[in-house]
Amino acid sequence: MEPGAELAVIVPTFNERKNVLALVEKLQAALGEIRWEVIFVDDASPDGTADLVRELAAEDRRIRCIQRFGRRGLSSACVEGMLASAAPYLAVIDADLQHDERLLPLMLEELRCEAAEIVVGSRYTAGGGIGEWGAGRARLSRIGGRLGRILVPADLSDPMSGFFMMRRRVFERSRERLSAIGFKLLADVFASHPEPLLFKELPYTFRPRHAGESKLDSVTAWDYAMLLLDKLVGHIVPVRFVAFSIVGVLGIAVHFAVLAPLLQVAHTRFMVAQAIAALCAMSFNFALNNVLTYRDSRLRGWRWLRGWLLFVLACSAGGVMNVTVASFIFKSYGTWVLGALGGIVVGSMWNYAVTKFFTWGRSGT
């Protein structure tokens, strides 16, 4: 019988078709005699990345593909890739050849000889570098790194790194507490592991992207904020509910911005104006929640329209509930502030729970 791989290299992909072959060749060259496998975790890339990986996999059993539908997210993709492997050592690397794969055997050596439990490819330790980055991106990366100190040990020089290798045990012991939100799995692992991790950093120079485009955008910063928030308060309140509430407060502003001119300029009847304003606020909330709160299950096309309808229906029921609870409290205790607050809390919890399940189809987190 042939034993399984010793090292699993997990590669999250979204639209990386043009990089897959080059990466596999580089891995082959770098890993030589090591028993390795590579698991591509692709989020249904429109460019057919997964099809190409499967073509390669048909020729080489070390190559595997996991394809996810209706889902997005670098960290959660990596977690699923790791769960699909039995290898005692797990690495994560970008598909676009920006990370130096020649570090992998050195990382493995550090783990094998127990010099570390986790080894990080660092751009900032002596000998590393960020290559050809614009000043803006470099600054953003540094700010992110500083904020990340909340999660990781102070002497880790590149907490934002997307290139690392760890013992399977490290993954397993952090797994349950991982937030798996956004891009920063490494910081997440450090923050989720029950004890401080014995780590080592190896320098490398960040290379320019081989083909295609970066998936990092302004919403990545929001994801990062949500990761930090989840680590800080996630055990008390679900971070999605926090995001949903922030969006809800913005929705109130939209409501008034629509209501005021309708009443004062167009002299619309109050009931009609209120209904229009509520519909605008709900639509705004739906659209914003779709790109922020539920970025990893974002709806598009027809499903967007269906989701919008479900959202409006659910929130209308939430509105009825809000008024019912508020007037009950008001009648029982006679204080309108308490009544209004009670109505808002119950109504928004209803909206959150119902739309999470019906609109975005999420039953877990």
Q: Could you list the residues that contact Mn ion (CB under 5 A)?
A: 94, 96, 98
Does the protein bind ligand GDD through residue 41 (CB under 6 A)? yes
Provide Rg for the chain, Cα atoms: 24
Q: Rounded distance, CA 341 to CA 339, Å?
A: 6
CB of 313 closer than 8 Å to CB of 283: no
Q: Which range, of 35-43, 105-113, 234-242, 331-339, touches ligand GDD by CB under 6 A? A: 35-43
Q: Which range, of 72-80, 147-155, 165-173, 263-271, touches ligand GDD by CB under 6 A? A: 72-80
**Cα 137 to the chain's mean position, in Å?**
19
Does the protein bind ligand GDD through residue 73 (CB under 6 A)? yes
CB of 63 closer than 8 Å to CB of 70: no
Q: Rounded distance, CA 30 to CA 100, Å?
A: 10
**CB-nearer residue toward ligand GDD: 210 or 303:** 210
Degrees to nearest 5, angle at CA 242 with 236 and 245: 135
Q: Minimum distance from CB of 345 to ligand GDD (Å)?
A: 33
Residues whose CB falls within 8 Å of the CB of residue 285, separated by 6 or more in sequence, listed in order: 247, 248, 250, 251, 254, 311, 315
**CB-nearer residue toward ligand GDD: 67 or 316:** 67
160 binds, among Mn ion, ligand GDD, none (CB under 5 to 8 A by kind): ligand GDD
204 binds, among Mn ion, ligand GDD, none (CB under 5 to 8 A by kind): none
Degrees to nearest 5, angle at CA 193 with 192 and 196: 125
Burial call 317-344: b when 16+ CB within 10 Å, e when fewer: ebbebbeebbeebbeeeeeeeebbebbb
CB of 32 closer than 8 Å to CB of 114: no
Q: Minimum distance from CB of 214 to Mn ion (Å)?
A: 5
- The residue from 9, 13, 82, 85 that contacts ligand GDD (CB under 6 A) is 13
171 binds, among ligand GDD, Mn ion, none (CB under 5 to 8 A by kind): none
**CB-nearer residue toward Mn ion: 13 or 179:** 13
Does the protein bind ligand GDD through residue 14 (CB under 6 A)? yes
Does the protein bind ligand GDD through residue 74 (CB under 6 A)? yes
- Enumerate binding residues for ligand GDD (CB under 6 A): 12-14, 16, 41-43, 72-74, 77, 94-96, 98, 160-163, 183-184, 214-216
